[in-house]
Amino acid sequence: MATASTSTDAPDDANSDIAQLGYEAARDELASIVTRLESGGATLEDSMRLWERGEALAAHCESWLDGAQQRIAQMTDADTADGE
């Protein structure tokens, strides 16, 4: 029986640049990946790579949004404390 040779390190290596992306760039690339996956023209292997990158991009975007939410909460708390 033939098995596919895959490396568990490959997705991490291929996605190492994501940490350098700003929110908008990551969001735009994620939207592009979704469009490519929805078109159905990619091979199974390419689809898997796209899906893995999309998951990493989505997590990166969520991290950006979490950070923004924390900053807003801190500013709101500081404004409330100053007003008392």
Tens-digit pLDDT profile for the chain (84 aa)? 444 444 444 556 779 999 999 999 999 999 999 999 999 999 999 999 999 999 999 999 999 999 999 999 999 988 777 766
Domains defined for the chain, CATH in brackets: 21-83 (1.10.287)
Interatomic CA distance for residues 35 and 38, integer angstroms:
5
Q: What pLDDT score does 83 carry?
A: 67
Report whether 30 contacts 36 (CB < 8 A): no
Instruction: Kindly state the DSSP code that residue 18 receives in the 8-state scheme.
Output: G
The amino acid sitting at 81 is A
Report whether 51 contacts 37 (CB < 8 A): yes
Written as six digits, the tokens of 50 are 């796209």
